[in-house]
Amino acid sequence: MADTRVANDTAMDRQIQTTAWQDFLSLIKIGIVNSNLITTFTGMWLAFYFSGTSFLGNLDIVLFTLLGSSLIIAGSCVINNYYDRDIDQLMERTKVRPTVTGKIQPGHALGFGIMLVAFGIIMLLMTTISAAIIGLIGVITYVVLYTMWSKRNYTINTIIGSVSGAVPPLIGWTAVEGTIGTVAWVLFLLMFIWQIPHFLALAIKKTEDYRAANIPMLPVVYGFEVTKRQIIVWVACLLPLPFFLSELGMGFVILATALNLGWLILGLYGFKMKDIMKWSTLMFVYSLNYLTIIFVAMVIFTLF
């Protein structure tokens, strides 16, 4: 009984520490929604640019694409929170999510997540069927293949989850073009590859959390040295990609290559640094800045 009271008091304390708005943002994982909005917009912007189609003349497509992609991403994250509530309570960074504290009931979260995905798909159907299908593929990959299957069973869960995270620029592109062009595939590869070193760096930082929740992340199963080598290999895979976007200009190619080399050098420096946690933090922060800079730069270089 005493243990039960302590657990209840702890849960109540967590509830007090968060507002309803904070709980909502946590439920939909607003950080993921915002970052994917950047890549969706860039994919759409480049499709307008390379097709010679007016951006301002198609604001309805812009609105439906951004709303639709945001809704399916948010909905997928809500379903993820619903499904993972048993392991989320075991990890420091997730134990205050409203699906864990009880501030949002599991059934309500699941229904809300499904509703968001449904409305998002309808929004994307207002653009092209291709955009809606790709969006649905992203949802299924994240919810079923990642959340329900690979996350708890295999170290390749990061790779599988990265497929869904690479879908947004394809949604943006096909909402305008209807078909997937070469530039769109490069954006997909860029996002897919970027996510793996990004999340592996996070996995190093949160190794004990993942171990406590029995999630087979790479550093938990194979250790830090193997994870560091994997990170460097995946960062190196980014090196050729800027050259496939040469239509954006030599300035972009130089900038993107410099960012890739900087990330690779920082990765290699990890073999000399004694503080693995400090190194993983540096790699994680660099990856966040990398994504923002490179996708914003794609838009900027089309303006000149």
Residue 88 CA from chain centroid, whole number = 18
b (16+ CB within 10 A) / e for 95-107: ebbbbbbebbeee
Summarised one tens digit per residue, pLDDT across range 175-216 is 999 999 999 999 999 999 999 999 999 999 999 999 999 999
Summarised one tens digit per residue, pLDDT across range 19-49 is 999 999 999 999 999 999 999 999 999 999 9
The answer, as to whether pTM is greater than 0.95, is no
Could you tell me the pLDDT band of residue 284, with boundaries at 50, 70 and 90? very high
